Structure 1
Amino acid sequence: MNDELKELSDLKKVKIKGDRKLFSATHEEIEQGATTDVYFIKTREILSELDLADTEVTAEIFPSQAGVFAGVDEALNLLEQKDVKVWALDEGSTMDRKEVVMKIKGSYEDFGIFETAILGAMSNSSGWATAAKECKEAAQNKPMLCFGARHIHPAVAPVMERAAVIGGADGASCILGAKLAGQEPSGTVPHALILTVGDTLDVAEAYHEIMPEEAPRTILVDTFKDEAEESLRIANELEEDLDGIRLDTPSERGGVTLDLVKEVRARLDQAGHEHVNIFVSGGLTPERIEELNQLEVDGYGVGSYISNASAINMTMDLKEIDGQAVAKRGRIPGTTENKRLKRKL
């Protein structure tokens, strides 16, 4: 790992190579402090010059709104080699507005420059996890998968999908995101394959023949033909081997409507394919899921509602300096008791 940035002159250590392919920070750059706000480097330098770098402080972190607390594991990973004590809520816990979700005690020199990274990790992950929880609650006992990786930068897509699983998603399509959450990725095929092959039924047959037995046979049916007609073509051919069909009708054709779901379900049942599940994706929100959940929809794929969720702002305040209660104006001096916090480091 590169040496941490301690003073302004150290910024010369931060080099941008001309052949850099992606603009996202590496793990080493984050640990170096290169993603922090520069004023924390200035703070570090001034405290050092004043012989105050080793001042013992207690910092508290709290959210701007209620939600699901996520990102704590990354924060702890940044602090695990530091001589600090950390108390926090568990990853995936519910949190209230302005509840203290993490407390850090130690030398300001040891953790001050990581404030930006810690708050950023927990703010975004908590926002994504909270959005996923809303969708899962709307879906109730039916599967809800996260398909949001395409809507954000690839460097953070795995973080987002892991957070979605923490919040309640039953699976994720992003390979690395699912792996980080301790799962295998979920998904079948995109429209691109069907467009390239030229016929949905040919793709369904090839998928059934080529893919592993444990891979669900769920086929997109909105690429070329009427969704009900395509569903019947595939169900009549694959019969009991067909697990489900996926409706992803684009907004240009009105999206997946309640009437469309009713028709597809009725026509499948009338043809003796009651076992075929209906999976819906495309522009879903908790409100849309609640509507669809009144019908015989068996699962959901949610993308932009989770990936585009607003971060839940996190604030870090120093509440003790050398054991003395402090606070900036508007806040109450001294540490806040929260019996839900657990010792993490």
Structure 2
Amino acid sequence: MTDRKYDLLTAEDIDEGRATAAYFLRTEEILEDVGADPEVVAELSAPEGWNLIAGLEDLARLLEGVPVDVCAPPEGAPISGGPVLRIEGPYRAFGRYESSILGFLAHASGIASAAWRVRAAAGDRTVLSFGTRRQHPALGAMIERSALVGGADGIGNVGGGETIGVEAGGTMPHALAIVLGSSEAAWSAFDDALGPDVPRVMLCDTFDDEAEEVRRALGTLGEALEGVRLDTTGSRRGDMRAIVEDVRWELRRHDSEDVDVLVSGGIDVPAIERLRDVADGFGVGGAIADADPIDFSLNVVEVDGDARTKRGVKPGAKTVYREDYEDTVVERDETAPGRELLEPLLEGGEIVRSFDLDDARERARAAIEPLSDRGVFDRER
């Protein structure tokens, strides 16, 4: 036991390789005892099916200073099966980090991939990441960054945003109206207290029918009202499309069709597909933040130049060439049509790549149309 306030591993724990399975440290001890430290090639393999890769900056910082070479796709690149990471170096230099390597990439890639599917469904509608409260608070920055890589337009977690250099936003909770006693009091207090840089998007479903609260919000804020958020709980929602259409009707009646309608609360891909022609944007929580990690596996495939691995894995160092989103896996010294997907990330433990969030986001978005044409985002009905 330690005297730590929370059940958290620190950056020091991770950097020193203690965030690992015990058998990796025992393996290290055994290899040291027998005087073995072979040069190996290890590959991270992805399951079949298209996903995004994310978490590479954390991985690079973990292995910075470790005498290894690492190749990987650029962040935000779609991946589908085959090797998506190659590590070369003395086994004892990086073996203890296997758990952290997998964790950094699997969790971030899972969230980015979920956000990518949400973005594909939403088209040009606004997508906001609202789900960090469903996860451990220490993960806020990773979740929000991964959501942005996948296609979210904005985030809600303040600390997470500060960590990654992106300003968080939001509207108001039901608690504000409940504490102040009425929605009108909450809307007025919001408008009076916050500066003009904060969008006037008001929650309109705390006490009464959504269309009725929207009518009253218009009466309270007038032309200052920029948007309304509908967050009706699933237990009493009914037909959410009909609710949004009622709100739209009310906005038209009051010559306020330019007021945006944002829908949140249990929003997932099917809900977005049903509402995207009537809603201007979506606040998405669990459908992004609760995403399953990608089931990556890391395997040694070559030892001191000898192609050697476990059953069920192809031995030898490999690479991937991509042409029009058709991937070909070949031995590392071979070539195939297209460009090589695995690019240098670290050389001799030195990071040789920059990490630009906007570039990663653009890379992920640019892949949606061509992969949509291939049916990648089609759901089983």
TM-score (ref. length: structure 1): 0.91
The answer as to 2:295 corresponding to 1:310 is no
User: 1:78 maps to what in 2?
Assistant: 62
Q: Give ranges in structure 2 of 5+ residues lacking alignment.
A: 321-339, 347-381
In the alignment, which residue of structure 1 is the partner of 2:8?
24
2:21 to 23, 37, 52: 37
Partner residue, 2:140:
157
Partner-residue secondary structure (3-state), 2:302: strand
Q: Which residue does 1:13 correspond to in 2?
A: none
CA distance in 2, matches of 1:231, 1:187: 18
Bigger CA drift: 40-49 or 328-337?
Answer: 328-337
* 2:97 pairs with 1:114: yes
Q: Distance in 2 between matches of 1:330 and 1:247?
A: 50
Q: Secondary structure at the match of 2:293?
A: coil
Deviations, residues 83-133 of structure 1 (Å, cap 9, x unaligned): 111111111111002x21111111112111000011011111111111111
Is the CA contact (8 Å cut-off) linking 1:249 and 1:255 kept in structure 2? no
Match of 1:344 in 2: 345
How big is the shift at 1:255? 5.5
Choose from 194, 198, 202 the match for 1:215.
Answer: 198
2-side partners of 1:161 and 1:273: how far apart? 32
Tell me the residue number matched to 2:79: 95
The aligned counterpart of 2:41 is 58
Change (3 A) 1:249 1:256: farther
Contact 1:256/1:280 (8 A) holds in 2: no
CA distance in structure 2 between the partners assigned to 1:256 and 1:246 by the alignment: 16
2-structure distance, mates of 1:68, 1:178:
21
Q: Is the CA contact 2:203–2:229 (under 8 Å) kept in the aligned structure 1? A: yes
Structure 2 letter corresponding to 1:213: P
Q: Distance in 2 between matches of 1:80 and 1:329?
A: 31
User: For residue 313 of structure 2, what is the aligned residue in structure 1?
Assistant: 331
1:32 Cα offset (Å): 1.8
Superposition deviation, residue 177 in structure 1: 2.4
CA distance in 2, matches of 1:139, 1:182: 25
State whether residues 249 and 256 of structure 1, in contact with CA within 8 Å, keep that contact through their aligned partners in structure 2: no
CA distance in 1, matches of 2:277, 2:245: 11
Residue 302 of structure 2 is aligned to residue 320 of structure 1? yes
Instruction: Give me the whole-angstrom Cα distance separating, in 2, the residues matched to 1:177 and 1:243.
Output: 26
Q: For the Cα contact (< 8 Å) 2:141–2:164, is it kept in 1?
A: no
1:271-291 per-position Cα deviation (integer Å, ceiling 9, x unaligned): 111121100000011111010
CA RMSD of aligned residues (A): 1.3
Q: Distance in 1 between matches of 2:17 and 2:175?
A: 41
Pair 1:201 & 2:201 matched: no
CA contact (8 A) 2:177 2:206 kept: yes
Return the offset for 1:67: 0.4
C-alpha deviation, 1:25, in angstroms:
1.0
The alpha-carbon deviation at position 226 of structure 1 amounts to 1.3
Aligned residues: 326
Query: Does the 8 Å contact 1:284/1:305 carry over to 2?
Result: yes
> What TM-score, normalized to structure 2?
0.83
Separation in structure 2 between the aligned mates of residue 216 and residue 176 of structure 1, nearest angstrom: 20
Q: CA deviation at 1:178?
A: 2.4
- Partners of 1:293 and 1:148 lie apart in 2 by 20
Matches within 5 A, 1:125-274: 125-254=108-237, 257-274=240-257
1:144–1:169 contact (8 Å) kept in structure 2: yes
Q: Distance in 2 between matches of 1:273 and 1:337?
A: 56
The answer for the alignment partner of 1:288 in structure 2 is 271
Structure 1's unaligned 5+ residue stretches are: 1-15
Amino acid at match of 1:340: L
In structure 2, how many angstroms separate the alpha carbons of the residues matched to 1:332 and 1:229? 63
For residues 250 and 256 of structure 1, the distance between their equivalents in structure 2, rounded to whole angstroms, comes to: 12
Task: Quote the Cα distance in structure 2 between the aligned partners of 1:255 and 1:75.
Answer: 45
Determine the C-alpha separation between the residues in 2 that align with 1:175 and 1:160.
12
Aligned partners of 2:166, 2:196: CA distance in 1, in Å? 18
Overall identity of the aligned pairs, in %: 38
Letter aligned with residue 174 of structure 1: N
Residue 9 (structure 1) aligns with: none
Q: Distance in 1 between matches of 2:78 and 2:160?
A: 22
